[in-house]
Amino acid sequence: MPDPAQPPRSHEYSQAFEALVEEGDEQDIVGLLAYSLFKASIRERVRSGQDVPRHLRTPTATEIHAYRGQAERILERYGQAAIADATPDIVESARTGAKAEILGEVERVRSMVIARTRAWPAIGYGVAAWFISIIITLVITLAAPGWVMNLVNHVSPPEQATPK
């Protein structure tokens, strides 16, 4: 006695799913959509009163190509519409992100410029440089007084006494 929970097995069934959907690929969106288009066309034939024999319930190679092509065009239009719908949000998000990044970088540069150009540190560096130059001058003068005097005399020779 057949089990009522199990549907009866028939050796003859439509091979439309196997023909339109790539075997083993549950992600074959084109094939799944093509299968639904094929089933919708069978349904419309039956609803319009046409008899659809079993042998016509499995698509031919030409029909497979046509249904898959139609499915690809539908998905392409859907993708283009989704991109067109999402583009303004993506552009706005990119602008907002870029603006925030630019403003952050401007603030970082501004803070760095302010920190490096404050008056007291600049005065401090100037005084330190002046002090170092005084020390170098003193060291040179004290280390070689004869050499410095020769240099000074060479640049501006002493005035010679004029005979009276």
135-149 exposure pattern, b = at least 16 Cβ within 10 A, e = fewer: eeeeeeeeeeeeeee
What's the mean per-residue pLDDT of the chain?
83
Same domain, 81 and 109: yes
Query: Does residue 10 lie within any of the structural domains?
Result: no
Neighbours of 65 (CB within 10 A): 12
Based on the fold, state whether residues 82 and 124 are members of the same structural domain.
no
Whether residue 131 sits in one domain with residue 86? no
Q: Let me know if residue 144 belongs to a domain.
A: yes
Residues 57 and 127 in one domain: no
- pLDDT tens digit sequence for 48-92: 988 877 767 788 899 999 999 999 999 999 999 999 999 999 999
What's the pLDDT band for 118 if we cut at 50, 70, 90? confident
Whether residue 4 lies inside any domain: the answer is no
Same domain, 33 and 111: yes
What is the pTM assigned to this prediction? Answer: 0.52
Say if residue 112 is in the same domain as residue 124.
Answer: no
Asked whether residue 8 is assigned to any structural domain, the reply reads no
Residue 129: which domain range? 119-157
Total domain count for the chain?
A: 2
Residue 36, in any domain of the structure: yes
